Amino acid sequence: MPRKIIGRELEKEKLGEALTTQRSELIAVYGRRRIGKTFLVREYYSKNILFSFSGLRNGTRPDQIENFMLELKEFTDKFNDEKPENWLQAFSILKQYLKSIRETKKKKVIFIDEFPWVDTLRSGFLPAFENFWNTYCTTRNDLIVVICGSAASYMIKKIIKNRGGLHNRITRKIKLTPFQLKEVKEFFENKKIDLPEIEILKIYMALGGVPEYLENVKVGDSSVTAIDRLCFQKGAQLEYEFDEVFKSLFEEGSYHEQIIQSLSKGPKKGMLRDEILKDQGLSSGGQFTKSMNELIESGFVEKYKSYRENRKTTLYRIFDEFCLFHLQFISPFKGNTWARLYTKKEYESWSGYTFEMVCYKHVDCIKRGLKCDQINSKNYSWGNRNAQVDLVIDRDDAIINLCEIKFYNDTFKIDANYANNLRNKETHFRTETSTRKGINTVMLTTWGITGKHAVGLVTNSLTKECLFN
């Protein structure tokens, strides 16, 4: 019986549409390690899969072909004596198997998982697969071929932007991204784990919305015990995950880790491209651009617009919670405990920035909380020497929301000094941008705000609950 698929509504819609078309479909599914690609495809197409095969990490061509044939034997015993010497012969055998199955209106799924692991140097796998799709699959109307992989550089370059036999052949692309908070809450509820939203938020800030990481949270855990067990205890499951992520996703000799290291040490608001190059002593060439683009495509880095001193700049910053948490705490404080670390001053600065990051990822939820989700907007950060705005929602209805984001363990009190600071931000923003739009100050905090000085100043007060909607 298929297990429940949490969230993934748009992805399920794409997979479902492929079942109804009058043509064979070639679907590329990609996304970072542990994100749930295999689970999604296997569970959604559980009643349609005719053949599935997963590549072996670091496997030789003979090993991969042998694995291919062993998997085929799970579906049919007609080819037990066949021993293909290359991938053209292996796919020829797969064709024979498919030809033995009558063509019907019901779609039949061939699933090749960890596709990049199979296509090793001089393996001949990709040309053989291209031939299989172009000369056979396209002659039928009842096949769905799903190719899946975690290696971002490979999937983007060799599949999504293929200039050879698969050029313009991909009929649907699915980029699987981490869960949002609403889905994480549903995920835990499905596992009968009853956690307050503040505890879910704290786990999310450390682990992100990666299903495989969240799968290891147990009934009775708090955020502290879960993070401690998964990241800091002896033999912790995620102790070496950061290294594994980069080994599995990106090619050796690239600049991915160097870029991440620079961003982890630089200003949390982000760095200019030239600042990263200077910090690492790198030249601005194609390899750097390729590595940066792959980090962005994989969701580890965000490229975003920021306004500084009335100039629009492009900044880069780490945009993956677990990646940032590893570099901030797991690596430098190895052998420590989270119960001790989360009381340190480093936690305060990390949690403040990470909460901002989470809010950026949930800006649609914030707009729903402001009841302006149907209105187009530009969302960016802004600052000068005298003022800094965490999030600007510049709306098409002539309203600008200046969002002040605060992670605080209690109700946040707005005293006279803080109120003056907020007014100062409004004044500097209006003066420097010369905007004629109405300006509303929004407070987004964990537990809400208090204090008489907020009256008439703070237009909207949102709490963490809006991020779960």
Number of neighbours of residue 269 by Cβ within 10 angstroms = 16
Question: How are the residues of the chain apportioned to helix, strand and coil, as percentages rounded to the nearest 5?
Answer: 45, 20, 35
Asked if the structure places residue 359 within a domain, the reply is no
- What confidence score (pLDDT) does residue 310 get? 66
Task: Please say which residue of 175, 195, 212 terminates a domain.
Answer: 175
Residue 67: alpha-carbon gap to chain centroid: 30
Last-in-domain residue among 175, 194, 220: 175
Domain match, 22 and 127 both: yes
Q: Are residues 163 and 223 in the same domain?
A: no
Q: Which two tokens stand for residue 72?
A: 């085929």
Same-domain pairing of 97 and 164: yes
Supply the angle between the helices 256-265 and 286-297 in degrees, to the nearest 10: 70
450 neighbors 412 (Cβ within 8 angstroms): yes
- 372: in domain: yes
Q: Are residues 111 and 130 in the same domain?
A: yes
**For each of the chain's 469 residues, which pLDDT tens digit applies?**
678 999 999 999 999 999 999 999 999 999 988 999 999 999 999 999 999 999 998 899 999 999 999 999 999 999 988 999 999 999 999 999 999 998 888 999 999 999 999 999 899 999 999 999 999 999 999 999 999 998 877 888 899 989 999 999 999 999 999 999 999 999 999 999 999 999 999 999 999 999 999 999 999 999 999 999 999 999 999 999 998 887 777 766 678 888 998 998 888 788 999 999 999 988 887 889 888 988 888 889 999 888 776 678 889 999 999 999 999 999 999 889 999 999 988 899 999 999 999 999 999 999 999 999 999 999 988 988 889 998 999 999 999 999 999 999 999 999 999 999 999 999 999 999 999 999 999 999 999 999 999 999 999 999 999 999 8
**Is 3 inside a domain boundary?**
no
Pair 154, 250 in one domain? no
Q: Which amino acid is at 123?
A: S
Per-residue confidence (pLDDT) for residue 304, from 0 to 100:
86
Per the domain annotation, does 75 fall within a domain?
Answer: yes
Cα separation of 241 and 247, whole Å?
10
| Domain membership flag for residue 419 | yes
| 234 and 246 belong to one structural domain | no
CA dist 28 and 165 (Å) reads: 15
Q: Flag whether 113 is in a domain.
A: yes
> At how many degrees (to 10) do helices 273-280 and 256-265 cross?
100
pLDDT value of position 206: 97
Task: Please report the pLDDT score of residue 107 as a whole number.
Answer: 96
pTM > 0.75: yes
Cα→Cα distances 462→60, 183, 196, 347, Å: 55, 20, 17, 23
Residues 78 and 155 in one domain: yes
Q: Is 405 in contact with 333 (CB distance < 8 Å)? A: no
Total number of domains constituting the chain: 4
CA distance 300 to 320: 5
Residues 320 and 346 both lie in one domain: no
- Residue 1 domain-assigned? no
Cα–Cα dist 254/258, whole Å? 9
What pLDDT is stored for residue 309 in this prediction? Answer: 63
Q: For residue 295, what are the domain limits?
A: 242-328
Give the whole-angstrom CA distance, residue 259 versus residue 305: 19
CATH of the domain at 303: 1.10.10.10
The CATH number of residue 161's host domain is 3.40.50.300
Residues 76 and 167 in one domain: yes
CATH number at residue 390: 3.40.1350.10
Say yes or no: 343 and 406 in one domain: no
Q: Which two tokens stand for residue 211?
A: 């299903």
The answer to whether residue 43 sits within a structural domain is yes
> 136 and 277: one domain?
no
Residues 27 and 149 in one domain: yes
